[in-house]
Structure 1
Amino acid sequence: MATLVTFHAHPDDECILTGGVMRKAFEEGHRVVLVVATRGEAGLVPDFLEPGEDLPRRRVAETHASAELLGAARVEFLGYRDSGMMGDDLNDAPGSFWTADAEEAARRLAAILTEENADVLTIYDSFGGYGHPDHIQVHRVGRRAAEIAGTSKVYQAMARRSEIIEAHRRAGMEVPDVFDDGVPESEINVGVDVRKYLDVKRKAMRAHASQITEDSFFLSLDEETFALAFGTEWFIGDGEGPSDALAL
């Protein structure tokens, strides 16, 4: 049995980018650990919170529900605050992940990697997929944590923009301009076929009901278009070739 630690910026990121890999690892008998940097404080506030319930508490509960579906045996939050989108005032707010000391944050993550004797760590690419400050920080912190803990297999999760754009086109949706920049698709060298786990992946998305609504891009797609956008999870793997899979 191996251990996969998947490191994410906010609640719901885990099911979108690595939900299939997490479930695949679980079903193949491996240990899956989810680490989340923030509690998603800057997310949309839904109108169905319980009296006295705040958004972070709801998003933590949603993360645990998603993690259970995806097979995570352990969920940890590093305790930083959501930094909001690049350029928001929240970027520089006290306690934001974007302003966190990367070395300190890396040591927090490395302690979990060491405790779990992690074989594989997933992070994001250097642009954080779409330039979100917390996603960029996940890349920086994750890289350093792997060095500290001696975790040699590090995979940078990223969407293949051409697939996401085509899915928007098929659904008749406007393509967000966040896909204009980023790490080139040509750097992707690992693809994991997760079509077998798409039902679970979609259920995990639904677990994040405060942020992923039924009319969202993620849940409104028909099955074929959803499989196009999310049926393969893509990574940049150190030293891996195009035909390699995410082996645990």
Structure 2
Amino acid sequence: MPTIVFFHAHPDDEASQTAGAMARAAAEGSRVVLVFATNGEHGEVPDDLGDGEKLVDRRRVEAMNSAAALGVSRVEWLGYSDSGMTGWEQNHHPGAFHSIDPTDAGLKLAAIFDREDADIVVGYDDHGGYGHPDHVQVHRVLHAAARLAARRPRVLEATSNRDLTRGFYQAALAAGMADLAFDPDSPMDDGLPFGTPEAEITWQVDVSAYLAQRRRALEAHRSQQTDIDGMLALPEEVFAAAFGVEHYIEPGAEPGMRRGWPFAGELGGAVTAGRADPGDKPR
């Protein structure tokens, strides 16, 4: 079974974005490694921090609890500072992940790939889903690290299906659930729409059997109350629809999204290294 390294910007990103694939891969026997680029120090500060406890301390504990819920074998931290949201002065602070040369950070990440002899590595699409500076930097650093690794791994980019999200948005509006309505075609942090059009996505992955583990991973990050509570408060059927599938781009793959499991294959870099679901055809 392959060794898969998931590379995320902040603690809690793994729970909302790739938790289903991580849990499924671990359950099927893969070694799953989780790497965080930053410490998440610019996240939401909870009211119950103890004496001498810093937000970074809490978020590291939360990340380890999330990893345990998902079956992760190892957690690593690159140790860069959180760059904050788009336009914050922290974007350009010394040590902020966004300001680091991607090759320099890529060398640190490649060293983890090499130690793990990684078969597959996972980051984000080229605009980080919604343009967050650290998410965009994850994309750059992931590809730099893949090029620098001794044995070049397959690269997958986690993304969101813009067309599917649009359908959720329209259904929420029609049902009068304005509080659940999120327009993916509106400009995000970088001025681009949310996620990726379905025509540019390679894989749709069924992770519906792992919704309970995703919930536990999200619950582990309770310090980030606003975002986490919002996700956990979704009606059961909405939560299942939103988190029961995940989407990935495989650079260099033939066009057309297929439903399958791209984490079955080892080194090779081709779509055929994955596994299509029975009866499914590329479309």
Report whether the alignment pairs 1:175 with 2:188: no
1:172 Cα offset (Å): 3.4
Q: Which moved more, 1:127-136 or 1:155-164?
A: 155-164
Q: Which has the larger radius of gyration?
A: 2
Query: Following the alignment from structure 2 to structure 1, what is the Cα–Cα distance between the partners of residues 111 and 227?
Result: 38
Residues 1:245 and 2:246 are matched in the alignment = no
Task: Pick one of 161, 179, 184 that aligns with 2:196.
Answer: 184
Instruction: State whether residues 219 and 228 of structure 2, in contact with CA within 8 Å, keep that contact through their aligned partners in structure 1.
Output: no
The answer as to 2:152 corresponding to 1:151 is: yes
Q: Is 1:226 aligned to 2:239, yes or no? A: yes
- Larger relative contact order, structure 1 or 2 (CA cutoff 8 Å, min sep 6): 1
Separation (CA, whole Å) in 1 of partners of 2:257 and 2:107: 32
Paired letter, 1:206: E
Aligned counterpart, 2:98: 98
Alignment partners' CA distance in 2, 1:184 and 1:242: 12
**In the alignment, is the contact (CA less than 8 A) between 1:17 and 1:157 conserved in 2?**
yes
Per-residue deviation, residues 33-65 of structure 1 (Å, max 9, x unmatched) = 000000101101110111211111100110000
- Structure-2 separation of matches of 1:79 and 1:34: 13
**Residue identity opposite 1:208 in structure 2:** H
Q: Which moved more, 1:118-127 or 1:144-153?
A: 144-153
Q: Which residue of 2 aligns with 1:138?
A: 138
Q: CA deviation at 1:13?
A: 0.4
What is the letter of the counterpart of residue 96 of structure 1? Answer: A
Q: What is the CA distance between 1:222 and its match in structure 2?
A: 1.4
Ranges in structure 2 where 5+ consecutive residues have no aligned partner = 265-283
Give 3-state SS (helix, strand or coil) of 2:62's partner: helix
SS at match of 2:261: coil
What one-letter code is carried by the residue in structure 2 that aligns with 1:151?
Answer: R
Q: Quick check: 53-62 or 215-224, which moved more?
A: 215-224
**Using a 3 Å threshold, how does the CA distance of structure 1 residues 136 and 123 change in structure 2: closer, same or farther?**
same
Q: Among all aligned residue pairs of Structure 1 and Structure 2, give the percentage whose two residues are the same amino acid.
A: 46
| Counterpart Cα distance in 2 of 1:99 and 1:204 | 29
Partner-residue secondary structure (3-state), 2:40: coil
Give the Cα–Cα distance (whole angstroms) in 2 for the partners of residues 58 and 233 of structure 1: 28
Query: Does the CA contact (< 8 Å) of 1:163 and 1:229 recur in 2?
Result: no
Aligned AA for 2:182? V
Q: How far has the Cα of 1:17 moved from its partner?
A: 0.9
Contact 2:8–2:14, Cα closer than 8 Å, also in 1: yes
Aligned AA (2:54): D
Q: Counterparts of 1:217 and 1:167 in 2: how far apart (Å)?
A: 16
1:201 CA drift (Å): 0.4
Q: CA deviation at 1:165?
A: 5.1
What is the DSSP-based 3-state SS (H/G/I as helix, E as strand, rest coil) of the residue aligned with 2:138?
helix
Amino acid in the other structure paired with 1:227: A
Find the aligned partners of 1:77 and 1:5 in 2 and give their Cα distance: 12
How many residue pairs get aligned? The number is: 248
In structure 1, distance between residues paired with 2:5 and 2:79: 17
Q: Could you tell me how far apart the structure 2 residues matched to 1:129 and 1:94 are?
A: 25
Structure 1 segments unaligned to the other structure (5+ residues): none
- CA deviation map 1:71-112 (0-9, x unaligned): 111000101000011111110111100001211100000000
Task: Give the corresponding residue for 2:67.
Answer: 67
Partner of residue 236 from structure 1, selected from 238, 246, 249: 249
Once the two structures are TM-superposed, the CA of residue 161 in structure 1 deviates from its matched residue by 3.3
For the residues of structure 1 that align with 2:98 and 2:51, how far apart are their CA atoms?
31
TM-score (norm: length of structure 2): 0.82
